[in-house]
Amino acid sequence: MIDLWGEDTATVVAHDEASFADAVVPPIFQNSLFTFSSYQEMCDTFAGKINRPVYTRGINPTVRAFEEKIAKLEGSEDALALSSGMAAISSAILSVVKPGDRILSVKHVYPDTFRFFEIFLRKFGVSVDYIDGSNLATVEAALPGHSLFYLESPTSWIMEAHDVKALCERAKEAGVTTIIDNSWASPIFQNPIKLGCDIVVHSASKYISGHSDVVAGVIATSAERVAQIRGEVTQYLGSKLSPFEAWLLLRGLRTLPLRMKAHEQAGMEIAKRLAEHPAVKTVFHPAFQNKAHPGLRGTSGLFSIELAENVSVEALCNHLKIFKIGVSWGGHESLICPAQASLIQSGGPNSTAFFGVSPHVVRLNVGLEDPEDLWGDLQEALGAASE
């Protein structure tokens, strides 16, 4: 268990530097435009001599406040907030690759990241090779010839946590840029910049928001890379985060350490009990892996289980009362997401089939309800779903 209130975490999440009329919560700059007081000020701003908001697709003070907090929490020089996790992932990748480049990616990345690789990037002449991120020697041998190494740790569906520090060291030696999806751990449990990663991306729709009321993404990296991503990609794709969402994310951040602690405790307890349950064949949870993942300081409430052969996935989903059937995670509510349903999802290649996830796997998002109520719900439904 980490000291959640160590370092500057408490100050960063709870304290809003900007004070307006002594309000404890800063107002939302819910506007698109900021005017200039003179012709000269406009010239100086466009010449880069003054850094100030001009138009919300570029800089907005509420969005900036969120970006500054993420940069502090991740230990990066700067951050850039975008309209979704996929906008953060695609913008970060597009800032690194050009036609003809090859990406090396760990297996079991988030399914839409996989589709972005296979549907979008291949169209523009960028190819992707997939590798087992837990095998350092294989990664080291495969890195040369690639311009980008894409990590997600823990991975989607099978929740395999990797030694991010060692992987980023190998990539640095090979001159390969690294990007990691850090949504699962949140900045509370893992800070990949401090482990040597170049670019961190988050789906802020998950734990950072925490309330299932925002779709957002954020990139944390050096000031130079933020300027490059802004200037070469996001300004033209128009994928900037809007002020209201940023304001909701600032609210989410204030309780992030407390929520992560609750998700970790309840998630661990339920995962342990499921591991002993006859209806469960395997628990996919980083704490249950016999592998080193030294940069990970804690575990969240998202993990998967493979059900025993005699247990019906459909019956389990339908019998659960507190756990709702849903695709997202990281919010206050507990969810079950069956891999089987994603196998029949239309539209492009399917990552669960491609990487080999059994249709008997279901993912659980352990929310903030009473863990004993959640366990009761699972026990009852597992019993009813066992033939």
Question: What's the min distance (Å) between Cβ of 191 and ligand PLP?
Answer: 17
Residues contributing to the site for ligand PLP (CB under 6 A): 84-86, 110, 156, 181, 183, 203, 205, 215, 217, 328
Nearer to ligand PLP, 319 or 324 (CB): 324
Question: What's the min distance (Å) between Cβ of 51 and ligand PLP?
Answer: 28
Nearer to ligand PLP, 110 or 189 (CB): 110
Nearer to ligand PLP, 85 or 192 (CB): 85
Q: What own/partner pairs with CB < 8 Å and gap ≥ 24 does 130-134 have?
A: 130/105, 130/106, 130/355, 131/104, 131/105, 131/106, 131/107, 132/106, 132/107, 133/106, 133/107, 133/160, 133/162, 133/167, 134/160, 134/162, 134/163, 134/291
In the beta sheet, which residues pair with residue 335? 324, 365
Nearer to ligand PLP, 142 or 185 (CB): 185
The pair of structure tokens assigned to 334 is 């507990």
Max CA distance (Å), the chain: 77
Question: What's the min distance (Å) between Cβ of 379 and ligand PLP?
Answer: 27
Find the residue with minimal CB distance to ligand PLP. 85
Question: What's the min distance (Å) between Cβ of 204 and ligand PLP?
Answer: 7
Question: What's the min distance (Å) between Cβ of 9 and ligand PLP?
Answer: 22
Nearer to ligand PLP, 110 or 247 (CB): 110
Nearer to ligand PLP, 214 or 279 (CB): 214
Phi-psi region of 159 (alpha: psi -120 to 50; beta: other; left: phi over 0): left
When computed from its CA atoms, the radius of gyration of the chain, rounded to whole angstroms, is 21
Edge to edge, what strands does the sheet with 78-82 contain? 78-82, 217-221, 199-203, 177-181, 148-152, 102-106, 127-131
The pair of structure tokens assigned to 192 is 């990949």
Question: What's the min distance (Å) between Cβ of 300 and ligand PLP?
Answer: 11
DSSP conformation class of 293: -
